[in-house]
């Protein structure tokens, strides 16, 4: 089980400088509206061709006499709004501010260019209907690759900078900016209309608290914040994310109690990783009884109390259970025999009293 799926894309650029046109047609139903046309004209003026990060020439992809909806890389809706713009792998540099006047955009691909700028200055929240945003391998400082299914993080450029918080507020379903360890950022307050399903920012320099409003992400299935610099309490609202399957908060600086996860709140939670934080308190009795829980890792925290029959494990499906490096006072080992699928039980490095009627026991310490 890995929560991290890094994917690398290589440059694979075509040599053409001029974007090719599909045959011109006069389908009035599909004609570019004036405001869309002027935004594209402005974009054309602002971009330049920079194959080696140095100015080479102006780009030449726009013929003002052509219906812009018929340009290659541009798709319009029936009314004439640009809904898709693909400028990938063109060695473009310069400003793309005017793209943000194309409010109806649903898909934007700027991958594989030489933008030597941060994304901080751009107003992504102006796209209310954007579903696909591909910025991979575009040499943004603080590479921000975001997309609907999964995203990529790339080297060539040094990954650093501040992640624009607005991106989290888009109507986007998946954000994966994992493994950009110089990338800084914070999480925003999430509103109830947020459609995020997958949020992976593991091994970045993200910091701050996890907002209580994380509980508004009702579609969230995967939250992976592993290996960042988050601190403070884990908000209790997280225990009400009914679609949540994977929750990885390990290797941060979270403190306080583990929220009271229970079967009605997180019926689908299968992987819960909270290891290496500063969590304290005892384990809530409903935790082992979560109906979908397969893997639980609470090791390297400051948990205390007893592990005994109070923990309702009779219906547990847990297969791997890591509890080591904590401060539990006693553990009734027979309790684990109730968990019928249990394959791995790690109780390393705990000084505690163990009660069991098992006479021969191999026990890691
Ligand atoms: C982009 O620049 C690279 C490196 O100079 C070059 O290999 C590639 O052919 C260029 N691609 C385009 C579309 O100009
Ligand atoms: C880009 O750099 C490569 C290798 O350094 C060189 O061969 C090529 O001519 C350069 N292209 C431009 C347009 O300067
Ligand atoms: C990138 O931009 C910075 C300033 O923003 C500039 O100093 C640097 O020379 C640029 N790098 C390239 C390769 O153009
Ligand atoms: C966004 O999508 C909705 C529903 O399809 C549509 O009614 C609305 O006009 C769209 N907004 C923009 C700015 O395209
Ligand atoms: C981003 O766009 C590039 C170029 O079109 C493509 O190769 C890549 O697969 C896209 N990435 C995602 C995550 O869709
Ligand atoms: C990238 O970062 C490394 C280490 O921080 C630095 O040594 C190197 O000069 C940087 N490269 C560029 C092109 O900025
Ligand atoms: C991470 O962010 C902190 C500030 O929050 C900064 O001091 C530190 O230099 C950053 N580390 C890296 C590797 O960028
Ligand atoms: C989502 O809700 C926030 C705050 O309630 C609001 O500002 C924003 O416009 C809404 N976004 C959409 C796409 O409806
Ligand atoms: C969780 O949801 C239940 C029922 O919808 C609600 O009563 C409870 O207050 C919620 N808890 C949190 C911490 O949001
Ligand atoms: C982690 O939190 C503890 C208090 O819970 C604090 O003493 C420590 O400085 C924090 N460490 C980091 C790296 O923020
Ligand atoms: C233990 O959990 C099962 C279902 O998972 C439930 O039926 C039973 O009432 C629970 N027992 C206690 C003591 O909470
Ligand atoms: C072990 O102890 C439990 C109660 O703690 C008891 O239910 C069980 O029958 C015992 N098993 C054996 C083999 O004695």
Range of the domain at 306: 277-365
- Among 289, 293, 308, which is best to mutate for testing ligand 11, by the most ligand atoms less than 8 A from CB? 289
* pLDDT confidence of residue 144: 46
| 38: in domain | yes
| 184: in domain | no
| 304: in domain | yes
| 161: in domain | no
Please report which ligand is nearest the Cα atom of 312: 11
- Apex 225 CA angle, 222 and 231, nearest 5: 135
- Among 51, 112, 115, which is best to mutate for testing ligand 1, by the most ligand atoms less than 8 A from CB? 51
Is residue 172 within 8 Å of 130, Cβ to Cβ?
yes
User: Number of folded domains in the chain?
Assistant: 2
Nearest to 95 by CA among 139, 42, 134, 153: 42
Residue corresponding to tokens 């082992």: 288
What is the whole-number distance in angstroms between the Cα of residue 125 and the centre of ligand 8? 10
| 181: in domain | no
Q: Name the β-bridge partners of 307.
A: 331
Report in angstroms the alpha-carbon separations of 346 from 118, 150, 336, 362, 365.
45, 33, 11, 11, 9
Domain end marker among 117, 147, 177 = 147
- Among 79, 129, 171, which is best to mutate for testing ligand 4, by the most ligand atoms less than 8 A from CB? 129
DSSP line for 134-181: E-TTS--TT-----SS------SS---EE--GGGGGSS-SEEE-TT-T
CB atoms within 10 A of CB 348: 14
What is the whole-number distance in angstroms between the Cα of residue 301 and the centre of ligand 10? 13
Q: Within the chain, how many helices (H) and strands (E) appear? A: 1, 24
With 0-12 CB in 10 A as exposed, 13-18 as middle and 19+ as buried, what is 347? buried
Please report which ligand is nearest the Cα atom of 308: 12
CB atoms within 10 A of CB 294: 18
CATH number of the domain within which 125 lies: 3.80.10.10
Domain end marker among 147, 168, 187 = 147
User: Quick one: which atom of ligand 9 is closest to the CA of 236?
Assistant: 13
| 331: in domain | yes
Query: Is the C-beta atom of 148 inside 6 A of ligand 5?
Result: no
Domain end marker among 124, 147, 170 = 147
CA distance 320 to 297: 8
CA distance 347 to 326: 9
What is the whole-number distance in angstroms between the Cα of residue 144 and the centre of ligand 7? 17
* pLDDT confidence of residue 336: 84
Question: How confident is the prediction along the chain (365 residues), in pLDDT tens digits per residue?
Answer: 332 222 222 222 221 111 222 333 344 456 889 999 999 999 999 999 988 777 888 887 778 788 889 888 999 999 999 999 999 888 898 888 899 899 999 888 887 788 876 665 566 667 778 777 776 666 665 444 343 333 333 337 444 567 778 778 776 777 777 777 778 899 999 999 998 898 988 988 999 999 999 999 999 999 999 999 999 999 999 999 999 999 999 999 999 999 999 999 999 999 999 999 999 999 988 898 899 999 999 999 999 998 877 777 888 999 999 999 999 988 888 788 888 888 888 988 887 767 665 554 444 44
Residues in the chain: 365
Taking the whole predicted model, whether its pTM rises above 0.85 is answered as no
pLDDT digits (tens, 9 = 90+) for 270-328: 999 999 999 999 998 889 889 999 999 999 999 999 887 777 788 899 999 999 999 99
Which tokens in the block code for residue 82?
């640009």
């Amino acid at each position: 089980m890995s929560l991290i799926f890094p994917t690398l894309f290589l440059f694979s650029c075509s040599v053409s400088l001029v974007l090719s046109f599909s045959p011109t047609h006069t389908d009035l139903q599909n004609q570019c509206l004036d405001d869309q046309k002027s935004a594209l004209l402005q974009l054309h003026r602002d971009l330049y061709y920079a194959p080696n990060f140095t100015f080479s020439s102006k780009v030449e992809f726009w013929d003002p006499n052509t219906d812009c909806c018929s340009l290659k890389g541009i798709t319009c809706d029936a009314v004439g709004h640009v809904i898709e713009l693909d400028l990938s792998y063109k060695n473009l540099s310069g400003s793309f501010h005017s793209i943000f006047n194309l409010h109806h955009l649903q898909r934007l691909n700027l991958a594989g260019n030489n933008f030597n700028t941060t994304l901080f200055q751009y107003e992504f929240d102006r796209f209310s209907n954007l579903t696909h945003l591909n910025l991979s391998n575009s040499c943004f400082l603080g590479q921000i690759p975001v997309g609907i299914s999964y995203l990529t993080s790339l080297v060539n450029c040094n990954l650093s900078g501040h992640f624009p918080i607005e991106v989290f507020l888009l109507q986007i379903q998946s954000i994966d900016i994992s493994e950009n360890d110089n990338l800084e950022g914070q999480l925003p307050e999430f509103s109830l209309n947020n459609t995020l399903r997958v949020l992976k920012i593991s091994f970045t320099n993200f910091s701050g608290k996890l907002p209580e409003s994380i509980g508004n992400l009702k579609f969230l299935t995967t939250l992976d914040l592993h290996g960042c610099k988050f601190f403070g309490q884990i908000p209790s609202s997280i225990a009400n994310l009914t679609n949540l399957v994977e929750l990885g908060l390990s290797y941060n600086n979270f403190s306080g109690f583990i929220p009271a996860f229970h079967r009605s709140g997180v019926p689908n939670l299968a992987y819960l990783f909270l290891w290496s934080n500063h969590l304290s308190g005892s384990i809530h009795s409903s935790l082992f009884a979560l109906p979908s829980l397969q893997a639980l890792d609470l090791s390297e925290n400051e948990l205390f109390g007893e592990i005994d029959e109070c923990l309702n494990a009779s219906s547990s499906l847990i297969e791997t259970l890591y509890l080591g490096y904590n401060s539990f006072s006693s553990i009734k080992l027979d309790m684990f025999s109730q968990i019928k699928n249990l394959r791995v039980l790690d109780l390393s490095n705990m000084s505690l009293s163990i009660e069991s009627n098992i006479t021969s026991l191999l026990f890691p310490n």
